[in-house]
Amino acid sequence: MSGNTFGKLFTVTTFGESHGLALGAIVDGCPPGMALTEADLQLDLDRRKPGTSRHTTQRREADQVKILSGVFEGKTTGTPIGLLIENTDQRSKDYGKIQEQFRPAHADYTYQQKYGIRDHRGGGRSSARETAMRVAAGAIAKKYLFETHGITVRGYLSQLGPIKVEKLNWDEVERNPFFCPDPDKVSEMEAYMDALRKEGDSIGARIEVVAEGVPPGLGEPVFDRLDAEIAHAMMSINAVKGVEVGAGFASVEQKGSEHRDEMSEAGFLSNHAGGILGGISSGQAITVSMALKPTSSLRLPGQSVDIKGEACEIITTGRHDPCVGIRATPIAEAMLALVLMDHLLRHRGQNVDVKQTTPIIPPNVV
Amino acid sequence: MSGNTFGKLFTVTTFGESHGLALGAIVDGCPPGMALTEADLQLDLDRRKPGTSRHTTQRREADQVKILSGVFEGKTTGTPIGLLIENTDQRSKDYGKIQEQFRPAHADYTYQQKYGIRDHRGGGRSSARETAMRVAAGAIAKKYLFETHGITVRGYLSQLGPIKVEKLNWDEVERNPFFCPDPDKVSEMEAYMDALRKEGDSIGARIEVVAEGVPPGLGEPVFDRLDAEIAHAMMSINAVKGVEVGAGFASVEQKGSEHRDEMSEAGFLSNHAGGILGGISSGQAITVSMALKPTSSLRLPGQSVDIKGEACEIITTGRHDPCVGIRATPIAEAMLALVLMDHLLRHRGQNVDVKQTTPIIPPNVV
Amino acid sequence: MSGNTFGKLFTVTTFGESHGLALGAIVDGCPPGMALTEADLQLDLDRRKPGTSRHTTQRREADQVKILSGVFEGKTTGTPIGLLIENTDQRSKDYGKIQEQFRPAHADYTYQQKYGIRDHRGGGRSSARETAMRVAAGAIAKKYLFETHGITVRGYLSQLGPIKVEKLNWDEVERNPFFCPDPDKVSEMEAYMDALRKEGDSIGARIEVVAEGVPPGLGEPVFDRLDAEIAHAMMSINAVKGVEVGAGFASVEQKGSEHRDEMSEAGFLSNHAGGILGGISSGQAITVSMALKPTSSLRLPGQSVDIKGEACEIITTGRHDPCVGIRATPIAEAMLALVLMDHLLRHRGQNVDVKQTTPIIPPNVV
Amino acid sequence: MSGNTFGKLFTVTTFGESHGLALGAIVDGCPPGMALTEADLQLDLDRRKPGTSRHTTQRREADQVKILSGVFEGKTTGTPIGLLIENTDQRSKDYGKIQEQFRPAHADYTYQQKYGIRDHRGGGRSSARETAMRVAAGAIAKKYLFETHGITVRGYLSQLGPIKVEKLNWDEVERNPFFCPDPDKVSEMEAYMDALRKEGDSIGARIEVVAEGVPPGLGEPVFDRLDAEIAHAMMSINAVKGVEVGAGFASVEQKGSEHRDEMSEAGFLSNHAGGILGGISSGQAITVSMALKPTSSLRLPGQSVDIKGEACEIITTGRHDPCVGIRATPIAEAMLALVLMDHLLRHRGQNVDVKQTTPIIPPNVV
């Protein structure tokens, strides 16, 4: 229990069920004096919110966030920031059948086993709706990281089922409903998703997130390594089944002479490490990749059991994302920002003026 | 800072550098009344220890662990267990050149950037030598999990560079120096490693760990999900660059109808989830896979810089594992055991008698 | 930073300023299946709320709490419970002068020093208004402790400035505006407070809290002793300057033969220990006493400095409690309940079925 | 469980029983680059160690500490510092009778209830012997606080049973076996202790600790207030039954006009607050007082019960401190230093350069 807090110095604690009255978060440890308004959070919330294209769930949520504390006359005060989003579109009757049955591959079963009771409406606490608060909290971290250290955190969809992107055009990412960075793949993705919707099936995806401008020195070995905390953060996102840093699983077949990022006076010569060595940021770009499984709520009938353990056939109606990966990019960005923010503060505790520490070599790949 | 403690209720805190006087750990939160001797820990320590074949570092360490507290008349008392291993084979002169230069892809550079000072001897704190204490602590968790709940945690090497295992024979795992479960691949691996040593290069690997008998209900969403904590644990192991649970990255190309593990009265029909749904154990086997990069200490010369940022050529002599993955199996097992132990205790806090909770369906794959 | 979470397994995180939009809390780790409604929390909130007699601040707050999550069909689900109280009576203009000046003995000065910015309205985050959320969260703990283990937590005012109570009549406590257990002292207290208000001065107080029915075994030595956590909890309440357990400071002059609580088959023969030995509950009543300083907001002029460090004379107008101790009883009860709840869950983690453990001797004082 | 770690950024985790093989600690989060040798720790260890006068236990322990990691070429490296003290004088046979019986007012009873097993030799983990590691860890904190910020932490015995000190002569404190600051009371204390020893009884004491030079701004409201953490730290010391900050319990009878520390351009005009306002340091001296109960191990026979709950008479032989307060001064100093160190690092995390922040008014009492 009490697993709803993330971070050590910059902490985020969340609450809220899919069809409850509201979602909320407390962001504790934000340094004082930063300008902050609700609009700063709304931008990322709007990127994540459902119903913005035909390819995501048709649930309509304004996801309008309110800042209830911790900001005075437009600036953070160092005290905890209370955030609230009221749920407005709760068509709970859609979920009537699910009360007694378990969707295969869904948390329905394990919540029932763990707690002996569950709010079955829309997945309750296990719904990805919870991630709205991560995005809101992450926006605070992103703003601080950028304004005080020039650190940027951004992501994109690199694969939608069988379709792999081939170009990385950052401007394109915000122009299509998939966060796809390759303009040549967008219409293929649209056609794929349209066909999928007709089938009543769902599909997996792969997301990449990249942080640039991260100073060397963040991460606290041996257990709170930066990459370990990133893995924790990413795997805590609904549907994520795998996480890689840098070369990731490709390292298995690499020789040391190939994998190692050689160094020159002008900078590193490659970045297989993904910006982290020995659990500490090297100054290079931090690159993270993750796999998201296909949604478990399908219109295609499946074998399952009910709450008594008796066999049943299950069909999920209601409004669901056929590919949860599509809306996951802002969530993954938020989680990476939260990890970096927490570790920036932890590193500073050591009396290291992060801004003054000069990197021995430039962070760029020559 | 203070990143050297793992766990919340069952905590492990470690210290020790590669060439310091000793390694140590404090295991806090072990339930009282369990029989425990040093021999219980030595078994796994011996599986991890260096120098047992020509394929690992030739450093000779007895890795003899002492229990200094927390055990009285052969039983745990509920008070913290102090563990100590003295370092005996410290050929520090081997490392003289490394003092001023950074090995590419090694933590040398980031430790220097973070702390402004480092114990360069054998990698200091960043050495995999530190993992001996994880193995010792993990052995306590393993014993408790098995004796009180019948939970087993075991692992194997599934890929050594280009060589993939094709059979899973658990008995074979302990019979060869690679933890390889496929008897047909052992000689191929031996030949590969012999050639690699001659080249002076190193290679990556893939490890699998499996926990069976885990009761449903472990894991604390939304941030302390069981899979998130496993990802944290595994990515905190030296050289790990990627972690998967269940189908992992294969999920990206799976459709929902393929990925979902359907359920019947007799049990689950498949296990793509890897035993975890919504961050909570389902009762199925927990399956975890991880990628280990090739060692960064090579005899092949490489471009690097020295402590002043000036270019230099570097050659690592000394004694190193050409494939850190070989000795990583017991470490990965230990980390999985530590996560399960901590979450078993956390779950119990909720007043759920784990032993009495009846799974709704059997955990087996039909 | 990030000091707004209390507890380890049963955690309470709060936000909110005196004159902000709302106060809130997230209670994480509440066991599932307990009946819970807003009315369960309102009872204690009403005991704490301002303006119920002429002896407390005349601010009028309904302190109406909303449960936003974690409860489904009237029962807790094991997921985090979001609580919210909107602020309704914010007469912020009362505080205009305080913006530039520091009230002596008030947190104005230290908040300004720490954060470089502060919400001066009504003391902002340093206001005792924040304790409303402690009371709401504490009510959940109290309910669980009582319903599952028969543990009761209650308190009273034992001294108001020079007036010491001489009788302990629990029924009387709720009948007067002071939580005074001695019916013979109530009119004396009223007269004292009336005179004090005329003077424009304030006064200190002493509060006692008692927990009965606590099973032996709660508390985690050596640092998380039960009494250490109680001291932490109580000293975290606004205005508290001292905490005692059992005989407290009287122990200084006691001999061991006098202080020690001898034991018989029928129970303990005395309770100087206050129910805690070696940091672990003994089964006896836990008795805690605390000192609250007089309010620092006075109408009597005082010497101070302004934000530039220049001398000024300060007079506090606005609405303040002339004795913060009067409303502190429910807060102290709440904090003791939170500590006991957290430690009950922590102790359970050790696989000790608290209900089944038989005390070696009865807890009563013979 | 797992209550043996103190602190959040600067953490101390300890292990060790009174009659086990050794005591140990891991100090994690010490900033790198500080000169540190075993001699730096030994000074305070020698002040605490038993057997230095006839007024303390006659157990003879060298309490020789070894630094096993975290220091390289005489300087801290930022990695965890492993500390070890071997137990040399374990006359375990002295404790034979205690195995089956509970000393009244001792942790014997509660350890048995909590764990169902205990190391009865010398009190096992509940022995004050454990505090040696606190003193060693505290010495590291003290050194850092003094060398980087000029903060001093020191203490004295202010009352031994009925004997109250009347003068505060810091030089005198180290000249007598009681840490008594009043040269005129030393012989009275000696006579008192001699008589007490003959009686076979024990006595309580009061200790004061003072930190000077603490910058304003330390402490993290609302729960991790500086005074709350100090109360936690002090109450975690064996035998402590009460803690006060500043005026403490005297505040109960003070009026606001008397208690409030008025401020002038030249500084504060008094220090009833004890250097902490709203849970944050004000820059004034931090003053803490605590009550220690008389030792529960007496030669005078007492009524008790045995492990089966049957009545027995108990007499404690063996070697015990007739006044645990005598050796408590270095322990209390250590705990205060640990709290300040942790909060200094936490405050820095907020990007506040503690050294550069100018106090608005001087900290001194005019």
Q: Which of D241, D277, D297 sits opposite C109 (nearest CB)?
A: D277
Question: Is the pLDDT reported for residue D94 higher than 60?
Answer: no
Cβ atoms within 10 A of the Cβ of A171, count? Answer: 8
Q: Which residues contact A181 (CB under 8 A, 6 or more apart)?
A: A156, A157, A158, A165, A167, A168, A169, A170, A172, A173
Q: Using an 8 Å Cβ cutoff, are C323 and C126 in contact?
A: no
Round to whole Å and give the CA distance between B181 and B164: 11
> Tell me: the pLDDT tens digits for B57-92?
777 788 999 999 999 999 999 999 999 999 987 665
Q: Which of D32, D78, D349 sits opposite A346 (nearest CB)?
A: D349
Q: Distance from B299 to chain A by nearest Cα, in Å? A: 10
Mean pLDDT, rounded, of chain A: 93
Round to whole Å and give the CA distance between D56 and D205: 14
Tell me whether D359 touches chain B (CB under 8 Å).
Answer: no
Tell me whether D284 touches chain C (CB under 8 Å).
Answer: no
The predicted pLDDT at position D59 comes to 74
The predicted pLDDT at position C198 comes to 93
For A160-168, what is the mean pLDDT? 98
The predicted pLDDT at position C91 comes to 64
Could you give the C-alpha distances from C221 to B8, C228, D2, D98, D336, in angstroms and in order? 15, 9, 8, 21, 18
Mean pLDDT, rounded, of chain C: 93
The predicted pLDDT at position C52 comes to 78
Nearest to B335 by CA among C88, D93, D207, A225: A225
Q: Which two tokens stand for residue C210?
A: 């008692």
Question: Is the pLDDT reported for residue A92 higher than 60?
Answer: no
Q: Distance from A22 to chain D by nearest Cα, in Å? A: 25
Tell me whether C351 touches chain B (CB under 8 Å).
Answer: yes
Question: Is the pLDDT reported for residue A337 higher than 70?
Answer: yes
Round to whole Å and give the CA distance between B188 and B55: 13
Tell me whether A63 touches chain B (CB under 8 Å).
Answer: no
Tell me whether D3 touches chain B (CB under 8 Å).
Answer: yes
> Tell me: the pLDDT tens digits for A106-148?
999 999 999 999 998 888 999 999 999 999 999 999 999 999 9
Query: At what angle are helices B131-149 and B38-48 packed, to 10 degrees?
Result: 130
For A328-352, what is the mean pLDDT? 95
Tell me whether D14 touches chain C (CB under 8 Å).
Answer: yes
> Tell me: the pLDDT tens digits for B252-289?
999 999 999 999 999 999 999 999 999 999 999 999 99
Question: Is the pLDDT reported for residue D318 higher than 80?
Answer: no
Mutate to test the interface with B, among D21, D23, D68 (most CBs of B within 10 A): D68
User: Which of residues D239 and B1 earns the better pLDDT score?
Assistant: D239
Q: Distance from D7 to chain A by nearest Cα, in Å? A: 12
Beta strands C11-15 and B65-67 are unpaired
The predicted pLDDT at position D332 comes to 98
Question: Is the pLDDT reported for residue C94 higher than 60?
Answer: no
Choose from A156-170, B94-108, B307-321 the range with maximum mean pLDDT: A156-170
Mean pLDDT, rounded, of chain B: 93
Round to whole Å and give the CA distance between B46 and D21: 24
- How many A-C residue pairs are in contact by the CB < 8 A criterion? 178
Stretch 105-124 of chain C: residues touching chain A, C-beta under 8 Å? 114-119, 124
For C100-109, what is the mean pLDDT? 93
The predicted pLDDT at position C137 comes to 98
The predicted pLDDT at position D167 comes to 97
> Which residues of A are less than 8 Å from D345 in CB distance?
349-351
For residue D62, what pLDDT band results from cuts at 50, 70 and 90? confident
Burial of A37 (0-12, 13-18, 19+ CB in 10 A): exposed
Does the structure's ipTM exceed the value 0.90?
yes
> Tell me: the pLDDT tens digits for D343-366?
999 999 987 777 777 888 988 777
> Tell me: the pLDDT tens digits for C297-306?
888 999 999 9
In this complex, which chains have at least 3 CB pairs below 8 Å with chain A? Answer: B, C, D
For residue C93, what pLDDT band results from cuts at 50, 70 and 90? low
In chain B, what percentage of residues exceed pLDDT 70? Answer: 97
For residue B116, what pLDDT band results from cuts at 50, 70 and 90? very high
Question: Is the pLDDT reported for residue C332 higher than 90?
Answer: yes
Q: Which two tokens stand for residue C363?
A: 């807890």
SS3 content of chain D, % helix, strand, coil (to 5): 35, 25, 45
> Tell me: the pLDDT tens digits for C6-57?
999 999 999 999 999 999 999 999 999 999 999 999 999 999 887 778 888 7
Residue C207 pairs in a beta bridge with C157, C290
Determine whether the annotation assigns residue C294 to a binding site. Answer: yes
> Which residues of A are less than 8 Å from B157 in CB distance?
none
Determine whether the annotation assigns residue A266 to a binding site. Answer: no
Cβ atoms within 10 A of the Cβ of C115, count? Answer: 23
Q: Using an 8 Å Cβ cutoff, are D226 and D246 in contact?
A: no
Check: pTM over 0.90? Answer yes or no.
Answer: yes
In this complex, which chains have at least 3 CB pairs below 8 Å with chain C? Answer: A, B, D
Tell me whether B9 touches chain D (CB under 8 Å).
Answer: yes
> Tell me: the pLDDT tens digits for A238-293?
999 999 999 999 999 999 999 999 999 999 999 999 999 999 999 999 999 999 99
For residue D161, what pLDDT band results from cuts at 50, 70 and 90? very high
Length of chain A: 366
Nearest to C143 by CA among C301, C31, C18, C25: C31
